[in-house]
Amino acid sequence: MKTIYEDMGLQRVINACGRMTALGVSAIHNEVAEVLVKAAQNYVVIDELMDKTGELISIYTGGEDACVTVCASAGIMIAAAACIAGDNWNCIKKLPDSTGMKNEILIQKGHAVNFGASITQMLRMGGAVPVECGQVNLVTREELETAVTEQTAALLYCKSHHCMQKGMLSVEVMAEIAHNHGLPLIVDAAAEEDLHVYLNKGADLVIYSGAKAFEGPTSGFITGRADLIKKCKMQYHGVGRVAKIGKEGMTGLVKALELYSKKDEKREQKRQQELVGKILEDLKEFPFIQGEMSRDDAQRLIYRAKMKFSPDSPMTAQTVMEKLKEGNPAVYVRGHEAQGGVLYIDPRSISEEDVKSIINKLRAVLKEDAQDKGE
């Protein structure tokens, strides 16, 4: 069956990358789709829905309360605004101009990443002056502690495969430093799947994307301390208004979290490993590609098919990746190590049928090259 995007004259996309915003993040389940339709077709008092949604999200996170957002980036902005303007209406209405307020938010330099947009820009939209501490690959406790001043409003920790994976201070140490100074610790865990670990390690506010690991609609949430969550919600009458989430997004997110909580993790891992095993078997026909199973480098429970192109391969990994995107269907593989001759196939969003399409496309791309060379 054609996708709605093909009806619009666009390519069908086989997403072998993972949860990429550029490809539509994730696809919702039928049960979530039903909830979206029902919610969109009726009215409700939005403030009450927002409180109820927060209450329901908290069942899954163990936080005292939660504030629903339109995405994780909005969550970063709103959490920053809440730590700076608090519940002072004059301050809330003045943001992102935070002149005269405590407005510095400390972040380790190896965490000041770009996830498609810059994390520090999201902080600035909430009125923060981001203060990057230490060096890109090394931050000491002393460097962070001496950066705390009278102007500090909060500390931010980012958990992501985008971040420097070594030389950074842990969530626990960041929480200790924050709390020694009576400051909150915010954790950006946008793409993470563990709903409890950061709160358990001492974070005061934790931000998640609803569409990444939890396969919800476009949405996000902040979970944690009730007093801070109340302040987060108040920002919807200030900077948060540009990031308004609809009623269908709120209800759809709750449904997605419910389904996620019932998900059989072991079965999903088995499915991933079997699919990757099948891909590795199929890859044997390509003499220049060495395949192996590879665990996610941010230690999430994701197994991917790693394709290492040998140095004498007639076509570079980068060229193969680009060529796979051409035509219909377009195949997108994970290419953050393409320069080093490595591509990955992420099994999360693909079916066995898709695997066939990927291998066919790979064959066509490599054969086309052989023809170009007159072989």
Ligand X SMILES: *Cc1c(COP(=O)(O)O)cnc(C)c1O
In whole angstroms, how close is the CB of 105 to ligand X at the nearest point? 15
What secondary structure letter does DSSP report for 170? P
CB of 220 within 8 A of CB of 67? no
One of 28, 56, 57, 71 touching ligand X (CB under 6 A): 71
> From the CB of residue 176, how many other CB atoms can be counted at a distance below 10 Å?
16
In whole angstroms, how close is the CB of 72 to ligand X at the nearest point? 3
Q: Is 191 in the site for ligand X (CB under 6 A)?
A: yes
One of 158, 254, 283, 345 touching ligand X (CB under 6 A): 158
Q: Which stretch binds ligand X (CB under 6 A): 81-89, 156-164, 321-329, 360-368?
A: 156-164
How many chain residues touch ligand X (CB under 6 A)? 13
Give the dihedral of Cα atoms 81, 188, 108, 168; nearest 10 deg: 160
Q: How far apart are CA 171 and CA 202, in angstroms?
A: 8
In whole angstroms, how close is the CB of 71 to ligand X at the nearest point? 3
CA distances in angstroms from 252 to 129, 216, 234, 238, 314, listed in the order given: 34, 6, 22, 25, 47
In whole angstroms, how close is the CB of 122 to ligand X at the nearest point? 7
In whole angstroms, how close is the CB of 241 to ligand X at the nearest point? 17
Choose between 72 and 280: whose C-beta lies nearer to ligand X: 72
Choose between 72 and 245: whose C-beta lies nearer to ligand X: 72
Q: Is 73 in the site for ligand X (CB under 6 A)?
A: yes
Q: Which stretch binds ligand X (CB under 6 A): 95-103, 140-148, 158-166, 169-177?
A: 158-166
What tokens does 198 get? 């950061």
Q: How far apart are CA 126 and CA 103, in angstroms?
A: 9
Q: Which stretch binds ligand X (CB under 6 A): 43-51, 187-195, 221-229, 295-303?
A: 187-195
Q: Which stretch binds ligand X (CB under 6 A): 188-196, 241-249, 255-263, 280-288?
A: 188-196
Q: How far apart are CA 345 and CA 338, in angstroms?
A: 12
Q: Is 168 in the site for ligand X (CB under 6 A)?
A: no
Q: Is 118 in the site for ligand X (CB under 6 A)?
A: no
Burial 345-358 (b: 16+ CB within 10 A, else e): bbbbbbeeebbebb
Task: For the segment 19-58, give every residue that binds ligand X (CB under 6 A).
Answer: 21
Q: How far apart are CA 96 and CA 86, in angstroms?
A: 13
Q: How far apart are CA 175 and CA 171, in angstroms?
A: 6
Task: For the segment 206-225, give every residue that binds ligand X (CB under 6 A).
Answer: 209, 220
One of 188, 204, 215, 354 touching ligand X (CB under 6 A): 188
Choose between 134 and 220: whose C-beta lies nearer to ligand X: 220
Q: Is 15 in the site for ligand X (CB under 6 A)?
A: no
Helix (H) or strand (E) holding 278: helix 265-283
Q: Is 72 in the site for ligand X (CB under 6 A)?
A: yes
What secondary structure letter does DSSP report for 301? S
Q: Is 160 in the site for ligand X (CB under 6 A)?
A: yes
CA distances in angstroms from 310 to 45, 285, 286, 330, 346, listed in the order given: 60, 14, 11, 24, 20
In whole angstroms, how close is the CB of 25 to ligand X at the nearest point? 7
Q: Which stretch binds ligand X (CB under 6 A): 71-79, 99-107, 294-302, 344-352?
A: 71-79
Q: Is 112 in the site for ligand X (CB under 6 A)?
A: no
User: Mapping DSSP to helix (H, G, I), strand (E, B) and coil, where does residue 110 land?
Assistant: helix
User: Mapping DSSP to helix (H, G, I), strand (E, B) and coil, where does residue 108 land?
Assistant: strand
Choose between 197 and 315: whose C-beta lies nearer to ligand X: 197
CB of 105 within 8 A of CB of 123? yes
Q: Is 198 in the site for ligand X (CB under 6 A)?
A: no
Q: Which residues bind ligand X (CB under 6 A)?
A: 21, 71-73, 115, 158, 160, 162, 188, 190-191, 209, 220
